[in-house]
Amino acid sequence: MVGFVSGAWSPVFEIGKFVAFLSVCSQLAQIFTMPVSAKLCVSHGWPSAFYFHGIVSLIISIIFLSFFTNSPTKHPLIGEKELSLIMSEEKRKRTGKIPYSEILRSYPVWAIWAAFLGNAFGFQLIVQFMPTFLNKVLNVPIERTGFSAMVPPLAQIAIKTVAGVASDRITCFSEVNKLRLFNTLGMVGCGLCLVPLGYSPSDTSKATTFAIFFFTASISFLGLITCGSMKSATLVARQYAPFVMSVVQLVACIGMLIIPLLVAVLAPNNVLEEWRYVFHVVCCVLILSNVFFCVFCDSLPAPWTKPKQTDLPLVCSSGEKNGSVGIATGKLAEDNHHMDKNHA
């Protein structure tokens, strides 16, 4: 959805800002879900949390479907001025089938997927297990863990908003180097901020402040990838960004499944010494996936996003004697050209 909407609804020169604002929905969901779930869990039990969020999700889906259209040209609330801004860049239209083979052989696309795999490890560890770590390891009460979990996404919203605007306005770096810079700050910064959590103080009050600080710093850094690998997906894949981003969702699900297994294997007793290994492993995954991204990433549209030669109109001269111009496409134009030469 992020890839499709950003490709269809944003000018190329505003992709960084657009993706940053669009992806803020994840943090808004955490800010709402964490404290509400903790409160419902304590007062009415776990089932109430699932029922409540299911109803809220249904209402949001209805609102979304009522207003969303695939193209800004079809939306009744978009005026001419806004439409001219959105469509100010020449937008390539999808021609024919999705070039699956070319996409799967593209190194920049694999760099994007590798970066998102590392991102999934860091993000899922923080989102799924920050409350568990605070409660089981540092002995913070459940209700307080819900409100403590609000702090990191709030900080990430601020970081993503500033980074999104900066990414489009910075001119002292090339576009590809901006992608490398933001992605490195995001993933390496996140990994390095996770490691100290394995050495939290033994005092509960100090440990809580210590843990919240580093969880907040790690998730804030991770927000910078919206101007790195996430922006690269739209720049490289263009009209095929929806397919590339759909694979990103698959990669995120892989991370979502692996992280609980990793925690279960390395920290079965929920003690600080065991969690130390978890944080080190995730840090290494983040750094290695970022290295792969920095080596193979790109900011230019991939060759398979451009219309094929046979799809473009060709103008062929039919000879000076008859003074006419023949317009055809592909092989037909070639045949006409040869026929005109024979007549001449």
**Model confidence pLDDT, tens digit, residues 102-138:** 999 999 999 999 999 999 999 899 888 988 898 888 8
Percent of the chain at pLDDT > 70 equals 78
Looking at the fold, whether 170 and 318 belong to one and the same domain comes out as: no
Q: What is the DSSP secondary structure assignment for residue 140, as one 8-state letter?
A: -
Looking at the fold, whether 219 and 314 belong to one and the same domain comes out as: no
Dist CA 128 CA 41 (whole Å): 16
Looking at the fold, whether 194 and 328 belong to one and the same domain comes out as: no
pTM recorded for the entire structure = 0.72
Q: Classify residue 141: in a domain, yes or no.
A: yes
Among the ranges given (62-71, 192-201, 239-248, 317-326), the one the predictor scored with the smallest mean pLDDT: 317-326
Looking at the fold, whether 325 and 209 belong to one and the same domain comes out as: no
- What 3-state class would DSSP assign to 264? helix
Q: Classify residue 278: in a domain, yes or no.
A: yes
Q: Classify residue 287: in a domain, yes or no.
A: yes
Looking at the fold, whether 215 and 161 belong to one and the same domain comes out as: yes
Contact of 31 with 154, CB cutoff 8 Å: yes
Looking at the fold, whether 197 and 330 belong to one and the same domain comes out as: no
Please give the residue range of the domain that contains residue 315: 309-343
Looking at the fold, whether 325 and 179 belong to one and the same domain comes out as: no
Contact of 164 with 227, CB cutoff 8 Å: yes
CATH number of the domain enclosing 139: 1.20.1250.20
Q: Classify residue 157: in a domain, yes or no.
A: yes
Looking at the fold, whether 321 and 298 belong to one and the same domain comes out as: no
Q: What is the DSSP secondary structure assignment for residue 306, as one 8-state letter?
A: S
Token pair 């959805």 is at which residue? 1
Q: What are the tokens at 267?
A: 């920290």
Contact of 274 with 35, CB cutoff 8 Å: no
Q: Give the rounded distance of the alpha carbon of 177 from its chain centre.
A: 18
Looking at the fold, whether 66 and 116 belong to one and the same domain comes out as: yes
Token pair 């419902």 is at which residue? 40
Q: Classify residue 95: in a domain, yes or no.
A: no
Cross-strand partners of 328: 314
Contact of 319 with 341, CB cutoff 8 Å: yes
Split into its structural domains, the chain has a count of 2
Token pair 């100290």 is at which residue? 196
Token pair 């005026």 is at which residue? 79
